[in-house]
Amino acid sequence: MFALVLHSHLPWLANHGRWPVGEEWLYQSWAGSYLPLTTMLSTLADEGRTNLLSLGITPVLAAQLDDPHCLSGMHHWLGNWQLRAHEARDRGLARREHRAAAGSLETFEKHWRHGGSALFRSLIDARAIELLGGPLAHPFQPLMDPRLREFSLTEGLSDAEARWGTRPSGIWAPECAYAPGMEKGYAAAGVTHFMVDGPALRGDTTLARPVYDSDVLAFGRDLKVSYRVWSPKSGYPGHAAYRDFHTYDHATGLKHARVTGRAVASQDKAPYDPEAASAAIDKHVVDFVDSVRRRLREESSRIGRPALVVAAFDTELFGHWWFEGPIWLERVLRALPEAGIDVGTLADARSRGYVGAPVELERSSWGSGKDWRVWAGDAVQDLVALNEEVVDTALRTVDAGRGAASNGRPELRNPVNDQILRETLLAIASDWAFMVSKDSAAEYARRRAHIHAHALREIADAATRGHDVRAAELAAQWNRADGLFPALDARRLRRDRPQGGER
């Protein structure tokens, strides 16, 4: 059996800059990946195809796809794309981009006007996809205080249930990060399966594996198959015929060139040729299907029973980074069954018994080195220290406020405590350390972490000093600045140490 898993995630970007990092990142990914992906899945669902893939959507991305400000901004961005197409000097490029923008505008106005939740719910209800959830704000879970880790996960699963009418039983853990003992927290939250990278299972990803003595299964990404697509040296997106991500017309922002060659300078790249790109897509569909078939046969022979192959990618690869990706993906999902390959979701694999012997998982991630260096290495020690300070301040303040307010009476909801936890989770998002370690908009990432840390400190200081009115004013002001996760309720933060701590 073959299972495709996609992980959809962006940090909270609304009202935090526009270009080159900020809302533009959201709108580019929305137009390039989320619109064509959902259109493709809806088309296949209308044909009666089911269990196509497991789709992870993080709560922080889902919040943006439903947010009125982001929806308005996206509509404006699509209209601006159409206007930019009119300004292109190359008539072929202008016509091509105008058609693409017009089609995206029509799709957005017809299916996305009221947010993404209704659209994704229709795919879930049609059994086209398995929804994978995750914790609020995409934290690096192994480095979190266990209480906050549990709170973030359960709130994230509840957020998914509120949006889509179903509580996910599977998750894509942020960064595929794991520490021994986390399976206990997963079991307590109702999580039955999660993703890890292939090396976490010592490369043997042919079956899901129960973690330690729990019933929680770890599915591993098959690197041999996944790297056919996503390898910096030999992956499909680097083919000469595909549209080049880094080369664009500075007057319009439109991308007009093909990769041409890895060593070719931007100004020397050849014009994009859609027919040549389509031929390359067909070639790579055949190659991928052959690779999956070969891998399934090899692994089934090796283990003496039917094997599972899981290929996993960031959703944003398809369309945003690799322009032709959504077309390739649709053709692959059609070609695999035609080649006699059984396609299903992770939940399908679990229910159909693709399960092996228990495994004692060690610390891991899907980052560089497959360890935690990206999020806890020398380059980000300042953020590690900031996160520890922020979490300690938040938990001490919330705990003190809850103790003072209860006095044996039912605990009332406290917007100050809610906002303290909201800012804390935004401050410790895994994205900031990743961007610093990879030197990708590092200044923006550090600024974002410190903005939310400042908000937390400001609210907590007023609350600690007993300035209740001022604390409430600050909490309301900071909440208006971002306005996400309105259902977050600090009363659900456990007072005692939960299950799921380090072994």
Catalytic residue set: 175, 314
| In the block, residue with structure tokens 């959902």 | 38
Q: Alpha-carbon distance 349 to 475, whole Å?
A: 45
Q: Alpha-carbon distance 221 to 195, whole Å?
A: 7
> Quick check: 455 and 478 in contact, CB under 8 A?
yes
Whole-number CA gyration radius for the chain: 23
Q: Alpha-carbon distance 338 to 280, whole Å?
A: 20
Nearest to 194 by CA among 181, 180, 206, 177: 177
Nearest to 184 by CA among 141, 130, 131, 138: 141
Own/partner pairs for 459-462, CB < 8 Å, 24+ apart?
459/416, 459/419, 459/420, 459/423, 460/393, 460/394, 460/397, 460/420
Q: Alpha-carbon distance 200 to 371, whole Å?
A: 9
Q: Alpha-carbon distance 161 to 151, whole Å?
A: 15
Tokens representing residue 346 in the block = 């992770």
Give the 3-state secondary structure of residue 318.
strand
Q: Alpha-carbon distance 240 to 223, whole Å?
A: 23
Q: Alpha-carbon distance 468 to 406, whole Å?
A: 15
Query: Which pairing describes strands 129-133 and 53-57: parallel, antiparallel, or unpaired?
Result: parallel
Length of the chain: 503
> Quick check: 181 and 205 in contact, CB under 8 A?
no
CA 189, distance to chain mean position in Å, is 20
Q: How many helices (H) and strands (E) does the chain have?
A: 18, 9
Tokens representing residue 341 in the block = 């390959």
Those residues whose C-beta lies under 8 Å from the C-beta of residue 129, and which sit 6 or more positions away, are 41, 51, 52, 53, 54, 55, 123, 345
